[in-house]
Amino acid sequence: MVSKFMIEPEYDVTVVTVRDIFQSMYAGDKFGADYQNHSAVIIFDESDMRKMSMADGGRVKVKSSGCEVVLTARKSEDAHPGIAFMPNSIYANALIEGADDTGIPEYKQIGVTVSRTTNELTGVRQLVELQKNVELHV
Amino acid sequence: MDANNVARVTCPACACLCRDVDLEFDDRGDIVHTYNACRKGAAFFMGSYRENRALPKIEGKPVSIDDAVKSTVEILSNAKNPVIFGLDTSSLETQVLGVGLARKLNAAIDDTSSLCQGLVLERIIPGSMKTCTLDDVRDYSDVMVYWGSDPANSHPRHMSKFSYFPRGKKRQKGWETDRMPICIDVRKSNTAGVCKKFYKIEPKGDEGLINDLLLSLDGKIGGKEIGGKGIDGKEFAKLTNILKKAEHCTIFSGLGLVYSLKNSIKLFDALIEKLNEYAPTHVIPMVGHYNMRGMTQTLYDASGYINKVRFSDGEVDHGSQYSITSTLQGKEADAALIIGADPVSSIPLKTSISLAGIPTITIDAHETPTTMISRVVIPAAITGIEAGGEALRMDGVKHELSAPRENKEVLSDAELLKRILEGV
Ligand code: SF4
């Protein structure tokens, strides 16, 4: 879907969360650059990246209902058009709605829209502060 | 510690609990080298005790540990609806204390299993789903199915120590001819890359695959009828055959499978039952946190349920309304005690952030997004480096954790819970 009102076109993608050994190496310091750089990542199918004119390593704005984060786009080695992968972290959890009656959130089918951006990566502290302000001032 | 300043320890960086890790120390007691650990384990031992350590705080201001404990006791004693969450990265002893505290406070208690492997563990622990140990897998399994799991990333030595590469009692020829590893996943993961068979399914395609397997095992559908669902018909027939003819099959259920099935988990029960009509088939959940298996067992022993429990004047209530996500979504808790967990990172942020609106106490070795929004932070020793204890491996086998490095500035989470229990 392309919205004509946006400067950068938006595309619908389904996000599936995955595990990443490199990210887990840095889990002791969730505010450190290494952890953030391995977590604020979204991995796209190559043909999707071409369609969206996105470069490997470029920045993307990823939005779901109510939350928006800026991540690094990465090219997948596998083909999975329409599906993107994100390591499980606060970034993926920022995009997920709450849980259903099972208590389990929807980690394997998160509907998001993505668009190119030149904005900085969203920091972990920034993300927590933003949501905290929403929580405390509603 | 031997004469070369090397100590053999158990690694608590994942639920494989590898017992063959050697740590080399320098004269100041710093870890300078790890042997045998994977990348994840090595990073844990080399980095976790040095960096980003939590400090005792109340409302962001530094305090003494005594004051932080005193404030915790006050908050919990005054709460009508407290919730305790975590304990998956604590020793069994600490878990027993945590459950005792929940009982004393009439609190709800839950752990990360309610968001992940709980659905499988609530079958494994009471014995309604057939399981085995990782040692059995090493010695006997000829067919291993990594279903929605990716040990190459989540449990890096799982395949080399237990499930694929080692030679075992009945698997003397090793991986080349004696074992058939199969991966079922939505993507070609690193694990899929080394398995002999890989079945790529669509997201949420697990239910359809199980239904097809159930029919195919009974000979009600043939190979070609499966075509069009992403799996080649002939390859699907081969999968059915391999599973039917296995001498000892183990399915390593991962989060991909659990998250995909959720309410349809009974289909998985039916599949395991059906497979056992043909071949001994076992399930081992790929538990992430090193002692989540221990926490679910501890709570089960105390209450009859593995998670999502509420204690009330000696009575036990259980249900999804006591899962951490439901409790926080419903904004029912009026105080929270988080022990060795980081729900602000690990559950949907819109839900977890409500911890910022209630008095939340976090006991953790590190600063995390959860300590950032906690009213009280109490630092704890790192179990497996600075504090010892026991833990259950993902298959329920008990292992001892050691404390090769002393840290006098912090208390273990067990000592902290004992002090809180005395005060409330
Ligand atoms: S596989 Fe797990 S327990 Fe073994 S060394 Fe790696 S992180 Fe530690």
A109-138 tens-digit pLDDT: 889 999 999 999 999 999 999 888 887 776
Nearest to A9 by CA among A66, A52, A68: A52
- The Cα–Cα gap between B185 and A78 comes to 12
A63-87 tens-digit pLDDT: 998 689 999 999 999 899 999 999 9
Query: What residues in A contact B153, CB-CB < 8 Å?
Result: 18-21, 24
For B223, the token pair is 């190979």
State the best of A21, A38, A44 to mutate against chain B, taking most chain B CBs within 10 Å: A21
A40-64 tens-digit pLDDT: 999 999 999 999 999 999 999 999 9
Dihedral over alpha carbons B25, B27, B28, B30 (to 10 degrees): -10
Residue A3, exposed/middle/buried by CB under 10 A (0-12, 13-18, 19+)? exposed
CB atoms within 10 A of CB B95: 31
Cβ contact, residue pair B203, A14, below 8 Å? yes
**pLDDT at residue B222 in the model:** 63
CA angle A118, A38, B352 (to 5 degrees): 90
**End-to-end CA gap in chain B:** 39
User: In a 3-state reduction of DSSP, which class is residue B101?
Assistant: helix
Nearest residue of A to residue B156 by CA position?
A21
> Which residues between 140 and 199 in chain B have a beta carbon less than 8 angstroms from any beta carbon of chain A?
150, 152-154, 156, 186-189
> Which residues between 340 and 379 in chain B have a beta carbon less than 8 angstroms from any beta carbon of chain A?
342, 344-354, 356-357, 366-369, 372-373
Give me the residue label for tokens 């239910």. Answer: B207
Query: From ligand 1's centre to the CA of B158, what distance in Å?
Result: 8
Cβ contact, residue pair B350, A97, below 8 Å? yes
**pLDDT at residue A2 in the model:** 46
Cβ contact, residue pair B342, A19, below 8 Å? no
CA angle B283, B286, B288 (to 5 degrees): 155
State the best of A22, A75, A128, A137 to mutate against chain B, taking most chain B CBs within 10 Å: A128
Phi/psi of residue B249, nearest 5 degrees: -105, 140
Q: How far is residue A5 from each of residues A8, A10, A11, B35, measured CA to CA in Å? A: 9, 10, 13, 57
The answer, yes or no, to whether any atom of ligand 1 lies below 6 A from the CB of B405, is no
Cβ contact, residue pair A98, B152, below 8 Å? no
- The Cα–Cα gap between B213 and B380 comes to 48
What single-letter DSSP state applies at residue B288? -
Residue B247 Cα, gap to closest chain A Cα (Å)? 31
Query: What residues in A contact B39, CB-CB < 8 Å?
Result: 21-22, 25
Whether residue B262 contacts residue B119, with contact meaning beta carbons closer than 8 Å, is answered with yes
| CATH code for the domain defined by A11-136 | 2.40.40.20
One digit per residue, the tens of pLDDT, for chain B of length 424 reads 787 899 999 999 999 999 999 999 999 999 999 999 999 999 999 999 998 999 999 999 999 999 999 999 999 999 999 999 999 999 999 999 999 999 999 999 999 999 999 999 999 999 999 999 999 999 999 999 999 999 999 999 999 999 999 999 999 987 888 999 999 999 999 999 999 999 999 888 899 999 999 999 988 876 555 644 667 888 888 999 999 999 999 999 999 999 889 889 999 999 999 999 999 999 999 999 999 999 999 999 999 999 999 999 989 999 999 999 999 988 889 999 999 999 999 999 999 999 999 999 999 999 999 999 999 999 999 999 999 999 999 999 999 999 999 899 999 999 999 999 999 9
The answer, yes or no, to whether any atom of ligand 1 lies below 6 A from the CB of B180, is no
- The Cα–Cα gap between B293 and B299 comes to 10
For B16, the token pair is 């494989």
Region of B314 on the Ramachandran plot (φ > 0 left; ψ -120 to 50 alpha; else beta): left
Whether residue B378 contacts residue B56, with contact meaning beta carbons closer than 8 Å, is answered with yes
Query: Residue B411: beta bridge partners?
Result: B380
What single-letter DSSP state applies at residue B366? B
Region of B323 on the Ramachandran plot (φ > 0 left; ψ -120 to 50 alpha; else beta): beta
**pLDDT at residue B223 in the model:** 56
- The string of DSSP codes covering B130-168 is ----HHHHHHH-SEEEEES--HHHHSTTHIIIIISSS-B
Give the HSE-up count for residue B57: Cα atoms under 13 Å, Cβ half-sphere.
20
ipTM exceeds 0.85, yes or no:
yes
